[in-house]
Amino acid sequence: MQRSNRETRPHALSAVASTARLPPRFPQRYTRHNGPRAVKGWSTAGPTSASRTLSRRSLLRMASLAGAAAVVPVTGCAAGPTEQGAVTTLRFMQNKPEVVGYFNQVIRDFEALNPDIHVIQDFNEGNFVPGLVRNDPPDVVTRGFAQATGDFVRKGIFADLSELPEASTVDPQIQDLVNSWGQYNGHEISALPFSLAAAGVIYNRDIFDAHGVAVPTTWDAFTAACETFRAAGITPIYGTFKDPWTLAQGMFDYVSGGVLDTAEFFGSLNAKGADVSAAAAESFTSNFRPVLPRMLQLASFSQNGASSKNYSDGNAAFAKGQAAMYLQGPWALSPLVAANKEVRLGTFPLPATNNPADTKARVNVDMALSITRNTPNMAAARRFVAYLMEPAVVNAYNEKHAAFSPLKGAPPVTNPQITGLAESVSNARFYQGAATYFPPSVPLHNYIQSFVYSRNGDQFLAALDDEWRRVAERTAV
Amino acid sequence: MTASLLPQRTTRTRAPRTSAPEGYKINWWLTALMLVASLTVLLPLYFTLAMALKSPDQVGTGTGLAWPNPMNWDNFAEAYVATGFARAFMSTAFVTVFSVLGALASSSLVAYAIARNWNHRFFRGSFVYLLSAMFIPFPVIILPLIKQTAILGLDNPAGVVFLHVLGGISFNTLLYIAFVRSIPVELEESARMDGATTWQVFRRIIFPLLAPMNATVGIFAFLGSWNDFLLPQMMIADPALQTLPVVQMLFQGEFNTNYSLAFASYLMAMAPTLVVYILAQRWVLSGVMRGAVK
């Protein structure tokens, strides 16, 4: 069958070519000016390679014409919605591709209640800056709040939302997390937190139960638990050192957040500006020294060969119960459950000192809603943000995605995977990871990785001081 | 006509098969080497196929070499719906078709003009000018370009086409000029004798003779525009008109990648490339120059 197919194909192609009445190639065309007969002469001249070329070319040509023709209706209907005068079209740029489906449903609900507004969801965050450049940014934006978004805030990209009634429903301590990245004109509220992600030590409840280990509340209890697991032949902590970001958000953030007051440290470091030197009281060298031995101790509790494992390896292995603990945030929960539906997980904040009252959770404002300042659809955008900030919408989203609602009086979390962090979050015993304070131009993650491998703390802290000063000099105003 | 074609085809394909043992010796070592080398293409393709047919709980298990059982064909339908495949496909096809046509038309015209007017200082200068564009790294000018295209109303697939054609013109012209120089001027002179105008000479003689280079430029332009990520991502303002490579980002979150859906959608996006590759490759190989210069 195969072979006979192949043999009939050239015949089919030349039939297409002759019915399409292609002009023959030049020499015939110029010598005899009789179209149809020239075609006949050409095709009976035998199946030379030249004739096959022509037929294939004709096929390509027709394919391209068909493609072009098919595109026209698409561009036609895309212009449709914007022309329906009564309906305002909003663009909503959202930073998490994995929840696009969820927000499509939210948007459908919103449009049912507000038939005069049409919302287009865009998850292509890379188009945000180009949107600003062409002065056509999306109307409503959600972003994770850290250094980069703080930059936009300080430049006044986003409108002031303090007048919005919904602004008063947000827990002020969580609003402070957003505001800590800077406020335009010193007082504006540029974003309303929508989802707060809290991270700690993810642990396998079955392994903890099997070895009679309780959730540790002090550093000594934590290391004792690790020793227990190690003695039992179980890897205490699964390390994924090949992906340096896992070291940054894991051991670096958890230990520094537990030992130091990161917000205060970076506040005074920023105030010092380009004058910071390794000897200064504000420097990394002067403050981060107690953090380092604990990081190395955490690293020593990892499995052999952690330096060749990446984040996805870690998810697959931890889901299968190959370690008792895993230094990851709530984003790892859904891949873990996807890899093993039976796994019973919990999270506790890492106790970095021996005083249980010091124990804090690492949080980040995972989504915060902003309206761009120059949007022509301010009223519609405000209505959309107001809808998204309704307790039912906010709480339902966070309930479903293992995150914490930033609203006052939000119902307590019931998801057993994150209940261990609930007390820290509700008492505002939390910090934003030290790694998130670094400007992207400092390759912090790689420095952390090289510190974990080389164990050279002086070099590590000196490098951070150097890098920080370099960036401060460059960006000084 | 068809009757006369078919028997000839069969004899042509069968002839080498019978004469092969006498005609040449098979180099088994080289054949084995080529077989191993072909694995570099076939193995990733196998992984892609296998991954595209896995259900979420099959993704993380095993070595990856095992064929999924049962096969989860729903991935294709799910990826099709999630990406809005038909619309993204049409947008990508629009960009690609017009980028290829634009690249072929503009660069060959420019090359012909420059190659045949090499004695004019203006044309030599313009060649250097075009070549100098190759020294400007694209990311450096992308933000000004975005501003400019927005002012001109080109923040859409048409603008992407325009920039693809423009961006390729220096390299493509370089390719074409070398080729145009190898075409004997006598061919053109004979056409002039028959009363052809410059346009007719280009359309009837030069452009057909450029076919091998057209194929090369066409393939470069096709792959470049079909697979391009950065330009559409930054340029196309309306998410509804976004192209496939950008839309497929949907499956890669910051911390989660939906591998099975992603690979199903990559396969669907790859299909036209494969088809065009097979067609265009044979086109190149068929030796269009034969019979033109005797």
Percent of chain B with pLDDT over 90: 51
Give the A window 345-404 contacts with B, CB below 8 Å. Answer: none
Rounded CA separation A297/A254 (Å):
13
Running DSSP on this structure, what letter comes out for residue A249?
A: I
Residues belonging to chain A: 477
Chain B environment of A15 (Cβ under 8 Å): 2
Chain B environment of A71 (Cβ under 8 Å): 90-91, 93-94, 97
Looking at A90-99, A216-225, B210-219, B235-244, which range is the least confident one? Answer: B210-219
pLDDT of residue B21: 55
Rounded CA separation A407/A405 (Å):
6
pLDDT of residue A32: 37
More confident residue, A430 or B282: A430
Closest residue in chain B to residue A57, using alpha carbons only: B283
Rounded CA separation A346/A12 (Å):
65
Closest residue in chain A to residue B202, using alpha carbons only: A26
- The sign of the dihedral angle between the CA atoms of A386, A392, A393, A394 is positive
Residue B129: closest CA among B106, B157, B144, B110: B110
Chain B environment of A16 (Cβ under 8 Å): none
Chain B environment of A339 (Cβ under 8 Å): 57, 59-61
Give the helix/strand (H/E) hosting A469.
helix A457-475
Distances (CA, A) of A107 to A117, A121, A267, A324, A328: 10, 8, 39, 40, 31
DSSP string, chain B: -HHHHHHHHHHHHHHHHHHHHHH----HHHHHHHHHHHHHHHHHHHHHHHHHT--HHHHTSS-S-SPPSS--THHHHHHHHHHTHHHHHHHHHHHHHHHHHHHHHHHHHHHHHHHHTTTSHHHHHHHHHHHHGGGS-HHHHHHHHHHHHHHTT--SHHHHHHHHHHHHHHHHHHHHHHHHHTS-HHHHHHHHHTT--HHHHIIIIIHHHTHHHHHHHHHHHHHHHHH--HHHHHH---GGG--HHHHGGGGB-SS-B-HHHHHHHHHHHHHHHHHHHHHHHHHHHT-TTTTT--
Region A316-343 average pLDDT: 92
Percent of chain A with pLDDT over 70: 82
Strand partners, A364: A197
Give the A window 118-147 contacts with B, CB below 8 Å. Answer: 120-124, 126-127, 129-131, 133-136
* Start-to-end CA span in chain B (Å): 27
Closest residue in chain B to residue A74, using alpha carbons only: B87
Region A291-312 average pLDDT: 94
Q: Model confidence at A39, in pLDDT bands (50, 70, 90)?
A: very low
Q: Of the candidates A29, A30, A50, which has its C-beta nearest B291's C-beta?
A: A50
Strands A345-348 and A201-204: antiparallel
Tokens 């053109």, residue?
B188
| Cβ atoms A343, A256 nearer than 8 A | no
CA B261 to centroid of chain Cα atoms: 25
Region B132-139 average pLDDT: 88
| Cβ atoms B115, B127 nearer than 8 A | no
Rounded CA separation A34/A439 (Å):
73
Burial of A114 (0-12, 13-18, 19+ CB in 10 A): middle
pLDDT of residue B126: 94
Closest residue in chain A to residue B292, using alpha carbons only: A27
- List the single best residue of B13, B96, B254 to mutate versus A (max A Cβ within 10 A): B254
A52·B286 Cβ contact <8 A: yes
| Cβ atoms B82, B250 nearer than 8 A | yes
Most confident of A51-65, A83-97, B280-294: A83-97
| Cβ atoms B100, A64 nearer than 8 A | yes
Flag whether pLDDT at A69 surpasses 80: no
Chain B environment of A31 (Cβ under 8 Å): none
Rounded CA separation A429/A408 (Å):
16
B238·A49 Cβ contact <8 A: no
Residue A358: closest CA among A227, A256, A208: A256
B13·A10 Cβ contact <8 A: no
pLDDT digits (tens, 9 = 90+) for A152-196: 999 999 999 999 999 999 999 999 999 999 899 989 999 999 999
Chain A closest CA to B124's CA: distance in Å? 30
* Start-to-end CA span in chain A (Å): 76
* Domains of chain A listed by start with CATH number: 5-196+364-400 (3.40.190.10), 198-362+417-475 (3.40.190.10)
Domain B81-293 has CATH 1.10.3720.10: yes
pLDDT digits (tens, 9 = 90+) for A108-117: 999 999 999 9
Q: Sheet harboring A201-204: ordered strands across?
A: A235-238, A323-326, A201-204, A345-348
Rounded CA separation B279/B274 (Å):
9
CA B171 to centroid of chain Cα atoms: 15
Predicted ipTM of the assembly = 0.75
B283·A6 Cβ contact <8 A: no
Residue spans of the domains in chain B: they are 29-72, 81-293
- The sign of the dihedral angle between the CA atoms of A415, A421, A422, A428 is negative
- The sign of the dihedral angle between the CA atoms of B126, B130, B131, B133 is positive
Flag whether pLDDT at B105 surpasses 70: yes
pLDDT of residue A77: 41
Chain A environment of B1 (Cβ under 8 Å): 18, 40, 43-44
CA atoms within 13 A on the CB side of B95: 30
pLDDT of residue A83: 44
Flag whether pLDDT at B65 surpasses 90: no
Rounded CA separation B243/B89 (Å):
7
B155·A136 Cβ contact <8 A: yes
pLDDT digits (tens, 9 = 90+) for A407-419: 998 999 999 999 9
Residues 6 or more apart whose Cβ sits within 8 Å of residue A368: A142, A143, A144, A145, A149, A178, A191, A192, A193, A194
pLDDT of residue B22: 58
Burial of B134 (0-12, 13-18, 19+ CB in 10 A): exposed
In degrees and rounded to multiples of 5, residue B144 shows phi and psi of: -60, -35
Q: Of the candidates B60, B149, B250, which has its C-beta nearest A100's C-beta?
A: B250
Tell me if the bond preceding A81 is cis, omega within 30° of 0.
no
Chain A closest CA to B283's CA: distance in Å? 6
DSSP string, A329-392: -GGGHHHHHHH-TT--EEEE----SS-GGG--EEEEEEEEEEEBTT-TTHHHHHHHHHHHTSHH
Flag whether pLDDT at A16 surpasses 80: no
Q: Of the candidates A11, A75, A122, which has its C-beta nearest B5's C-beta?
A: A11
Task: Categorise residue A69: left if φ over 0, alpha if ψ from -120 to 50, beta otherwise.
Answer: alpha
B191·A338 Cβ contact <8 A: no
Residues 6 or more apart whose Cβ sits within 8 Å of residue B57: A338, A339, A341
Rounded CA separation A85/A399 (Å):
38
Strands A235-238 and A192-199: unpaired
Rounded CA separation A94/A103 (Å):
9
Orientation angle between helical segments B74-83 and B259-285, nearest 10 degrees: 90
Residue A431: closest CA among A254, A191, A236, A241: A254
- List the single best residue of A52, A74, A328 to mutate versus B (max B Cβ within 10 A): A74
pLDDT digits (tens, 9 = 90+) for A431-467: 999 999 998 889 999 999 999 999 999 999 999 999 9
Flag whether pLDDT at B51 surpasses 80: yes
Region A245-263 average pLDDT: 94
- Tokens representing residue A416 in the block: 């057993």
Q: Residue A90, SS3? A: strand
Rounded CA separation B72/B49 (Å):
11
Flag whether pLDDT at B290 surpasses 60: no
Region B16-37 average pLDDT: 76
Closest residue in chain A to residue B56, using alpha carbons only: A338
Chain A environment of B11 (Cβ under 8 Å): none
pLDDT of residue B276: 72
Q: Look over chain B and give the mean of its residue pLDDT values, rounded to a whole number.
A: 84
Q: Model confidence at A50, in pLDDT bands (50, 70, 90)?
A: very low
- Tokens representing residue A251 in the block: 């051991």
Region A86-100 average pLDDT: 90
pLDDT of residue A12: 37
Burial of A96 (0-12, 13-18, 19+ CB in 10 A): buried
| Cβ atoms A316, A240 nearer than 8 A | no
Q: Of the candidates B91, B143, B258, which has its C-beta nearest A133's C-beta?
A: B143
Q: Model confidence at A340, in pLDDT bands (50, 70, 90)?
A: confident
